[in-house]
Amino acid sequence: MNTPPNGMEPTVIRISGPIVTAAGMRSAAMYEVVHVGEEGLVGEVVRIVDDRATIQVYEDTTMLKPGAPVRGTGAPLSVWLGPGLLGQIYDGIQRPLRGIQERSGAWIQRGEKVDPLDLNRRWTFDPRVRQGDVVEAGGILGEVRETELVRHRVLIPPGIAGTLKWIAGPGDYALRDTIARIETLRGERAVSLWHPWPVRQPRPIRERLRVQAPLITGQRVIDTLFPMGKGGAGAIPGGFGTGKTITQHQLAKWSDAEIIVFIGCGERGNEMTSVLREFPELKDPRSGRPLMDRTILIANTSNMPVAAREVSIYTGITLAEYYRDQGLNVAVFADSTSRWAEALRELAARLEEMPAEEGFPATLASRLAQFYERGGAVTTLAGKQASVTIVGAVSPPGGDFSEPVTQHTRRFIRCFWALDTELANARHYPAIHWLQSYSEYAENVAPWWEHQAPDWSELRTEALALLQREERLQQVVRLVGPDVLPDSQRLILFIAGILKDGFLTQSAYDEKDTFCAPDRQVALLRMILTLYRRGHDLVEKGVPLGRVRDLSCIPKVLHAKESFGNDELPGLAELEQRLRDELDTLEKQFFQEDRPHG
C-alpha cells in the first residue's frame, strides 16, 4: 500500500476486539489483506469511509495499541493451491497447525507466519501436453503423485489461455519452479506447480449439471430413505447431544467421495481434538491406506479468533473447488454453521451494523447462500464431470428448528436430516427422525438405485408410509393402549419396531454394521417388508398376530444387520428364504387346524 497523498502513514486509531479501524487508508481496497501492528497480524479490509478503513483481524489483538502501523498487500485473502494440501491440518486462514507446532509449540503465537505448502519439497512431474498445443484456462498440464490414493492434476490457473510455448519434461520440481510457459494475448505467462486463489471468489466452471448419482455414505437411514446426491447440499440440524458431530464423522469416513474436506468451525476444542487424533489413524475402507491421504482438515475451534472462524468455511470450500476442478468428487463437511453464524453476529455487532432476527446480521441468508451454492455437480473448464457435495451441521439452541440459521439454511439445501433429542435419549443412533427429515434428491438418484435394485423406490416408499402410519397409531396407543387395536394395526406397530431397531439404527462401533453397502441395505429392507406383506396377508385371513410374532426366525431378522456383513449377502438371502418358509408353514398349519367357523 502506497503512502497516501497527504503523507499520513496508515495507522491504527481504534480497536474493538477483532475489529480495528485505521486511518490513512485512502489507497486501500475492499477485502484487501493487510498486516496490522509490528507483529504483522493478518487482517482484511471490510469497510472504507474516506481515508478510514475497518479491518477484520484474524488473530488475537491483545496488546495492540492505537498508532500501530498498518501495511497493505494489494491482494485479497487467498489460499495456496497445489500439491501437498492432502493430509494437512490448517486453521481458518490456511496456516498449517503441524508446522506451527514444530516451530512454536502447542499454541499459535501472534503474527505466526508459516507457509501453507512446503516450498522445498520436490514433486515428480509427469507432463500431459506438448509444446505448441493450444491450452485453455483450467486445463491439465500434467500430474504428480500427491499421495498413494490421489494423482494430483496440475492445472492452468483460470484466466490464462493460449499456446504452450514450453513445457518441462518429466522430473522433480519444487512448487515455485516454472513448469510451463504459455503465450497469451497479453504476453508470456509462466506457470508453476501452485497458484493462489481468493477464498471469497468461486472458481469458474464450464457448466452446472443436474445431480444424478447418490453420495453413498453406508448409513442406511440416509442412503435408503433420505439420499444425498453427489453435488448436493444438505444439513444436519439437532440439539446438544443428538450426534451431529459423530454423524458427520461417519459420513467423512465412509462416503464414496474421492476427497474429503472437514471444517471444524467453532466447535469445542475437545471435539476437534478427537477428530485430529482419530482421522490420521483411520484406514480408507476401499484401499487400506490412511484416510488422511485423501483428507484435508481445517480446525478453527471456539477458543480461536472469531474472525478466522468466519473465513474458515470459505477456505474449505475453495480447497474443495480446486480438487473438483481436477475432475474429482469432493465432499465438504462443516461443523457447525451455527457457530459460524455466531461469528458473523459478533463481528456485525462490533461493526455496529443493524441487527436482524435474534441479533444475526441482515446478510445472514445471503452469506449462507454464498457458501451452499458453491457446491454442485459441474463440468469443469477442462471438460471433466466432477462435484462438490456440502453437508453442514446446524446447532439450533434447544433443538428449535424455527430459529434463523436453520430456517435460512433450509432455503438453500435439498436434503434435511433432522436429529431428534428423544431418539438420542433412547440411544437410537443415528438419531435422524424419519418424519421431520426429507430429501429432494430421491427422484434424481432413483435411476442409479433401480439399476442396483429395481424395487428400490417401491421399498423406500413403503417403508416411509409404514413409519408414518405407525406414528399416527402411536397417538392412539398413548391414549388408550395397544390392546384396543385390531391385529392388522398392531402388526404395523410390530413391523415398525423391527424397522427402527433392525434397519434404521446403526452402530458406528460395530465392525460389521458401521458401513452398510447399498446391496446389503436393500436386502435388509426387502426382508423386513417381506415379513410385513406376508404377515399382513395372514392376519387378514384370520391368523392371530401372536402366531406371526412367535416365528423362530424373527429374532434373527431383527439382528441380521449385526450378523451378516457386506460380503455375506448369501447368508441374508438364506435368512429371507427361511422367513418365507416359516410363513408358508404357519399358513398351512393354521388352515389345517380345526377351528370354529363364523
Same domain, 321 and 391: yes
Query: 3-class SS at 347?
Result: helix
Same domain, 498 and 563: yes
Q: Does 119 or 112 have the greater pLDDT score? A: 119
Domain range spanning residue 242? Answer: 207-442
Q: Is residue 201 part of a domain?
A: no
Instruction: Name the β-bridge partners of 167.
Output: 180
Q: Is residue 451 part of a domain?
A: no
Q: Report which of 321, 263, 251, 296 is spatially closest to residue 506, judged by C-alpha positions.
A: 251
Q: Is residue 69 part of a domain?
A: yes
Over the chain, what is the mean pLDDT?
A: 92
Looking at 390, 411, 442, the residue that finishes a domain is 442
Residues 6+ apart with CB under 8 A from 419: 236, 237, 238, 239, 242, 243, 244, 247, 430, 431, 432, 433
Strands (E), 268-336: 295-300, 329-335
Question: How far apart are alpha carbons 334 and 252 in whole angstroms?
Answer: 11
CATH number at residue 137: 2.40.50.100
CATH number at residue 66: 2.40.30.20
Q: Is residue 33 part of a domain?
A: yes
pLDDT in tens, 153-206: 999 999 999 999 999 999 999 999 999 999 999 899 999 999 999 999 999 999
Same domain, 338 and 419: yes
Are the C-beta atoms of residues 324 and 316 closer than 8 Å to each other? no
- Would you state the pLDDT for residue 253? 87
Q: Does 597 or 115 have the greater pLDDT score? A: 115
What percent of the chain shows pLDDT beyond 90? Answer: 80
Are the C-beta atoms of residues 223 and 402 closer than 8 Å to each other? no
The alpha carbon dihedral of 83, 200, 381, 297 has a sign of positive
pLDDT of 502 > 80? The answer is yes
Same domain, 489 and 540: yes
Same domain, 390 and 257: yes
Q: Report which of 217, 239, 461, 257 is spatially closest to residue 377, judged by C-alpha positions.
A: 257
The alpha carbon dihedral of 222, 227, 232, 237 has a sign of negative
Question: How far apart are alpha carbons 37 and 321 in whole angstroms?
Answer: 33
Q: What is the pTM of this model?
A: 0.93
Q: Does 102 or 528 have the greater pLDDT score? A: 528
Question: How far apart are alpha carbons 140 and 149 in whole angstroms?
Answer: 19
Same domain, 262 and 175: no
Are the C-beta atoms of residues 163 and 135 closer than 8 Å to each other? yes
Average pLDDT for residues 322-327, to the nearest whole number? Answer: 97
Are the C-beta atoms of residues 3 and 9 closer than 8 Å to each other? yes
pLDDT band at 109 (very low <50, low <70, confident <90, very high): confident
Question: How far apart are alpha carbons 279 and 86 in whole angstroms?
Answer: 13
Same domain, 487 and 361: no
- Would you state the pLDDT for residue 453? 95
Residue 585 CB coordination number (10 Å): 11
Q: Is residue 2 part of a domain?
A: no
Same domain, 58 and 149: no
Q: Report which of 300, 340, 307, 310 is spatially closest to residue 15, judged by C-alpha positions.
A: 307
**Total number of residues shown for the chain:** 598
Question: How far apart are alpha carbons 231 and 112 in whole angstroms?
Answer: 36
Are the C-beta atoms of residues 139 and 159 closer than 8 Å to each other? no
Same domain, 317 and 349: yes
- Would you state the pLDDT for residue 592? 81
Q: Is residue 494 part of a domain?
A: yes
Same domain, 222 and 172: no
Average pLDDT for residues 493-513, to the nearest whole number? Answer: 94
Q: Does 555 or 299 have the greater pLDDT score? A: 555
pLDDT band at 25 (very low <50, low <70, confident <90, very high): very high
pLDDT of 551 > 60? The answer is yes
- Would you state the pLDDT for residue 275? 73
What percent of the chain shows pLDDT beyond 70? Answer: 97
Query: 3-class SS at 397?
Result: helix
Question: How far apart are alpha carbons 320 and 330 in whole angstroms?
Answer: 6
Same domain, 149 and 226: no
Q: Is residue 298 part of a domain?
A: yes
- The full DSSP string for 293-306 is GGEEEEEE-TTS-H
The alpha carbon dihedral of 209, 206, 257, 340 has a sign of negative
Average pLDDT for residues 342-367, to the nearest whole number? Answer: 92
Looking at 161, 193, 225, the residue that finishes a domain is 193
Question: How far apart are alpha carbons 164 and 156 in whole angstroms?
Answer: 11
pLDDT band at 266 (very low <50, low <70, confident <90, very high): confident
pLDDT of 289 > 50? The answer is yes
Among 328-332, 513-517, 594-598, the range scoring the smallest mean pLDDT is 594-598
CATH number at residue 303: 3.40.50.300
Q: Report which of 116, 98, 118 is spatially closest to residue 108, judged by C-alpha positions.
A: 98
pLDDT in tens, 57-98: 998 898 899 999 999 999 999 999 999 999 999 999 999 988
Number of structural domains in the chain: 4
pLDDT of 597 > 60? The answer is no
pLDDT of 595 > 70? The answer is no
CATH number at residue 560: 1.10.1140.10
Are the C-beta atoms of residues 371 and 317 closer than 8 Å to each other? yes
Question: How far apart are alpha carbons 232 and 412 in whole angstroms?
Answer: 10
Q: Is residue 598 part of a domain?
A: no
Q: Report which of 66, 17, 76, 8 is spatially closest to residue 37, judged by C-alpha positions.
A: 66
Same domain, 337 and 461: no
